[in-house]
A and B are shown apart, each in its own frame.
Chain A
Amino acid sequence: MKRQPAGWALIGPPWGWLLLFFVAPLLLMAIYSLRPDMSGGLFNLDWTPTLKHYRTILEGESYLLLLGTSVRVAFVIAAMSTLLAYPLAYFLVFRAGKRAPLFLTLLIIPFWTSYLLRIIAWRIILRTTGLYALNSKVLLLDSFGAGEPFAIGLYRVTVIITLTYVWIPFVALPIFAGLQRIDRSLLEAAAILGSPPWRSFVRVTLPLSLPGVIAGFLMVFIPTVGEYVTPVLVGGSRSSLIGNIIQTFFGSGINWPLGSAMALIMLVGVLGLTILVARLIDLRRYLE
């Protein structure tokens, strides 16, 4: 642990790369969100900072509503894939025995096939089987007065199904890792002290595996909040998420400052949530 110059020579280039291509772009985006419009280049300093885009977003109900919807849809997808993946991981760690590595590999192979293609595969399935019409059927159902929170999910039913499917093997990994770290002697102790298997699970296995579960949940939640490809590929006419709107502002409906403001709000939300959850996990450690 000495020789600082050599150490700096090693760590300097990655530091520089991250500052230049990760920190700087995000800062520029924050600055851009304060610009009134897009006139002039970025180095045109002839503009006064304004919060009008933030005002547009916060006052115009539709953007916030869509952001809320996207968060809820991402939450449902993350929760469903976590719930479905947990028994898989549990099976691999506690039941599969010697064949666990093989079973794990079999589970991961679908994950290594192109993300885009698995979504396209669902597009083919949904179209071939006629399930695609589900989205428009839902519209019909809505006219009979289905409740609003219910409708949010229904408009995006094909998106939710597809993304849950895509993420299951991915979420299984951190849960698997978390379950594997559990000291088996704790379970033996519980059994010897007369705890029935279900209670050992609820009181020992489940709490100890929570960090892995939460990590898996976040690993799905974060990319899903920003998702914009899946609604385009498998969704119906009303399945847009906030990502689609941001993408539009940077694409055809050119309004980069407004798009930047929206992206920044989303980023702060996602990071805030992640920090909160990380704190919660740490807090649990202190309590134990």
Chain B
Amino acid sequence: MSRRGFPLLSLYYLGLLLLLYFPIGVLVLFSVNDGTTLAFPLRGLTVHWYQDMLGNRVLLNAVRNSALVALFSSLCATTLGSAAAIGVLRFDIRGKLAFVALALMPLLVPFLILGVALLILFAAFDIPRSLLTVAIGHTVVSLPYTLLIVMARLVGFPSNLEEAAEDLGASYAYTLRRVILPLIAPGMLAAWLVAFTVSFDEFVLTSFLIGRDPTLPVFIVGQLRFANRFPQVVALAIVVMLVSLTLVVIAEWVQRAGSAASLSRRASPAGAAAPVGLAAVQTGT
């Protein structure tokens, strides 16, 4: 593994990896510990926090709200991002560079500021704060990711397939549906999953834009005051973590399979097989 017998870096990697997983391990331990505080030696293992969680209506409602917001915002962001990616890469439109710059700007604006600004906007138009206003905010911050991921996918394909379709008499709408969309579908799926994850976990923007009905992160922060209910929340968080990890692994697999199948003839860029998050980062730098 290490050349020249230089295991220092391997050890460093291993050590830091342990450090990174340590808090997650603590959470898992906390969720099966029979007590509301973590003290060693553990008093006993239990699954009753998990059982309580399944019976906690308010908590499950928060999960449902988060899922709704994430579903809505990720669909919007993926649709808008994919349309923009095609428009930018396949058309000679005036001001498209300005558009890309603007679309990436949400990455540079601290969420706190965007949250405050959107709060003012909604207040100005007397729009009551709700799950919808949260979803609108999440769409804005997910857009850079979806745009970059779909662009990274589309840029790998020459436009001659589309030209061939149109030379053979297909309308642009038909070409879009039968040629371009199937080509970028894996990118769109990856983009959707990233947008979903970004939204599901988001707290700062949400805290400014949420109404009475909380999403999961808002609920979790609210529950921190009640020590006796907290283990349930952690138990739920672990379930959510497992679900989102599964989603991410699927996204990565889809992207990898997609790029392996269709890009095999082209020189694969350095990040072709890199995970989804990395794809976004790479195109951004």
Contacts and interface: CB of A to CB of B under 8 A. Distances in A.
Interface of A: 1-4, 6-8, 10-11, 13-15, 17-18, 21-26, 28-29, 32, 41-43, 84, 87-88, 90-92, 95-97, 99, 101, 103-118, 120-125, 127-128, 165, 168-169, 173-174, 176-178, 180-181, 211-212, 215, 219, 222-223, 225-229, 233, 243, 246-247, 250, 256, 259-260, 263, 266-267, 270-271, 274
Majority DSSP secondary structure for residues of B touching A: helix
Contact of A226 (B3, B111, B240, B284): B111
Contact of A99 (B1, B93, B103, B204): B1
Contact of B270 (A91, A104, A177): A177
B112 A110 contact: no
7 contacts: A14-B83, A23-B102, A29-B117, A41-B124, A95-B6, A229-B221, A270-B109
A222 B110 contact: yes
A8 B139 contact: no
B139 A21 contact: yes
Contact of A14 (B107, B143, B221): B143
B120 A95 contact: no
Nearest to B271: A177
A7 B281 CA distance: 26
Contacts of A24: 121
B261 interface: no
Contact of A118 (B12, B23, B91): B23
Nearest to B220: A116
Contact of B140 (A15, A21, A90, A180): A21
Contacts, number: 264
Contact of B113 (A6, A13, A118, A267): A267
Contact of A270 (B110, B147, B237, B252): B110
A6 B83 CA distance: 10
B143 A42 contact: no
B49 interface: no
Contact of A42 (B92, B103, B123): B123
Contact of A109 (B81, B113, B204, B245): B245
Interface residues of B, number: 93
Contacts of A259: 116
A212 B109 contact: no
Given A108-B275, A223-B110, A263-B113, A121 B93 contact: no
Interface string B142-183: 010001000000000000000000000000100000000000
A96 B1 contact: yes
A185 to B, nearest CB: 15
B176 to A, nearest CB: 8
B20 A226 contact: no
B2 interface: yes
Interface in B265-285: 270-271, 273-275, 277-278, 281-282, 284-285
A42 B38 CA distance: 50
Given A11-B99, A90-B9, A180-B270, A260 B285 contact: no
A91 B91 contact: no
Interface of B: 1-3, 6, 9-10, 12-13, 16-17, 19-24, 26-27, 30, 37-39, 76, 80-81, 83-84, 86-88, 90-93, 96, 99, 102-103, 105-114, 116-121, 123-124, 126, 136-137, 139-140, 143, 147, 172, 197, 201, 203-204, 207-208, 217, 220-221, 224, 234, 237, 240-241, 244-245, 248, 252, 270-271, 273-275, 277-278, 281-282, 284-285
A10 B1 contact: no
Given A17-B140, A21-B118, A168 B203 contact: no
Nearest to A274: B108
Residue with the highest number of chain A CB atoms closer than 10 Å, among B2, B112, B245: B112
Residue with the highest number of chain B CB atoms closer than 10 Å, among A3, A169, A267: A267
Contacts of A229: 203-204, 221
B120 A42 contact: yes
A10 B86 contact: yes
Contact of A110 (B9, B20, B81): B20
A97 B2 CA distance: 8
A182 to B, nearest CB: 10
Given A14-B99, A270-B110, 11 more contacts: A13-B83, A14-B84, A14-B147, A21-B118, A26-B117, A87-B9, A87-B13, A115-B201, A176-B278, A223-B110, A228-B112
- When A and B form their complex, which 4 residue pairs have the shortest distance between CB atoms, in order from nearest? A226-B110, A7-B91, A11-B87, A121-B23
A99 B17 CA distance: 15
Contacts of A1: 90-92
A95 B118 contact: no
B1 A18 contact: no
Nearest to B12: A87
